[in-house]
Amino acid sequence: MEKIIEEPLFVLNRVVVVVLPKAPLIDWLNQASLGGRPPVSLEAARADPNTFLIPTHSDEFEAPGAQWLEDNWETLFDRVLRDWSEDTTRWPHARTKALFEQWCEVKTYSVVFDCSTQALQYSEA
């Protein structure tokens, strides 16, 4: 196991966005009984939420990543829904920003330290 270094090597030019499901999303999931799975609790659904690294710019001091989120909320919403059901016909037909905000809690964190000496690796999502 790699030892955690005392001083992080880099501060990434990214914002961490965590998208946590809210009760209405879990209600939809359980009512739709997607995939014949047993009911999911809100606590279980929030235990390992979707987390994204999104771009930020040096001039975004007050709300890093806010413009990207404004422009890309639908992509995040689709990703969250896809994690629960690949069958897009079961998704809500009117996926509005208001519905996204009703179904998902979005938390952003603007300081991301890379504490590993290993190079970042990418794989298909």
Closest among 62, 69, 67 to 17, alpha carbons compared: 69
pLDDT at position 114? 76
114 strand-pairing partners: 10
Which position has the token pair 């030019």? 13
The whole-number mean pLDDT for each consecutive block of 10 residues of the chain, a chain of 125 residues, reads 63 86 94 73 94 78 79 95 89 95 94 77 75
pLDDT at position 84? 87
| Cβ count within 10 A of residue 67 | 13
Q: pTM of this prediction?
A: 0.81
pLDDT at position 85? 85
pLDDT at position 14? 85
pLDDT at position 116? 75
pLDDT at position 15? 87
pLDDT at position 25? 95
